Amino acid sequence: MIPNQLNTFNTVVKNGSFSSAARLLGVSSAAISKSISQLEKNLELRLFHRSTHSLTLTEDGQELYKRTGHLIEQLEDQIRLSTDKQKSPHGRLKVNLPDSFGRMFVLPLVPAFLEKYPDVELDLKFDDRMGDLVKEGADVGIGVLGNDDSSLIAREFYSLQPVLVASRDYLLKYGEPSTPQDLLQHNCIAYRSNTTGKKKLWNFRTDGEQIQMEPEGNLIVNNLSAAMTAVETGVGIAAVGVGNYGACLEQGGFRRVLRGYESDPIKVMIYYSSRHYLPAKTRAFIDYMIANVQEKCPLELEEMIHAL
């Protein structure tokens, strides 16, 4: 038989005190204390060291939590999932997005998504800084950095091809580079990472090998829109990521340079917590975005380049 008090025990451990567990479970601290005492009596184990100012697990308490904590969470997840399946996606969904990429590729999909799921409230954070998804309380994140957190699951969302671009006016004035080394004679618009604070290196592939160069010039920016605007005004050459809309660049007056040296595409991932239970709102958002992301020139970029 599974003791009724086991969920109370796990809640106390996760929240660190009887009072915190009581608030979460909607009962009094006295009721929590009584429940824990009854569990200790049933198991014939002392689970906590209690004092006026502290509450710590005994060795037996640590062993019990180690063996049962994850099982209780999985059971709770299954119960929530069964309940959630009976409801349409609803509630607030917090999503972390890279600034320019989010506005170009995700924001255009939002109106149709909200029309399909009117009970979902999207809370979108546009920031090129790669934050901690769990610490910031976000449900979903989108980014190009590697997934070093084993508690997250990542699915491929989009593929970006890194390219170098310049305006036709700039190339007419200063000439077109033929090799990556020629960039030393050009004004390169660098991108400073909001996460690391460092300039991002430019990657090239030559003779089957990848090489890196640090862009040198008199302008540093921290988002794609600023880089594209600077290119538009003839400041210099910038590195951007394009999907299947490279032709739009050419039509608008931008030129891709060093096409033969371009590195491998970058995978943009959509990631979320790896807990067994995935709320309907989260699942609906992820599936909808992956199914509907457009492999064409985004409206914002199209407007920008046709303004040249």
d(C-alpha 192, C-alpha 156), whole Å? 25
3-state secondary structure of 221: strand
Question: Is residue 272 within 8 Å of 278, Cβ to Cβ?
Answer: yes
Between 237 and 223, name the one with better pLDDT: 237
Q: Long-range contacts of range 41-48, CB-CB < 8 Å, 24 or more positions apart?
A: 42/3, 42/5, 43/3, 47/9, 48/12
pLDDT of residue 306: 37
d(C-alpha 240, C-alpha 9), whole Å? 53
pLDDT of residue 68: 85
Mean pLDDT of 99-112: 88
What single string gives the DSSP state of each residue in 233-270?
A: TT--EEEEEESS-HHHHHHHTEEEESGGGB-PPEEEEE
Mean pLDDT of 81-103: 80
pTM: 0.61
Task: For the chain, give the mean pLDDT.
Answer: 83
pLDDT of residue 212: 93
d(C-alpha 130, C-alpha 196), whole Å? 9
Pick from 283, 269, 274: nearest CA to 152? 274
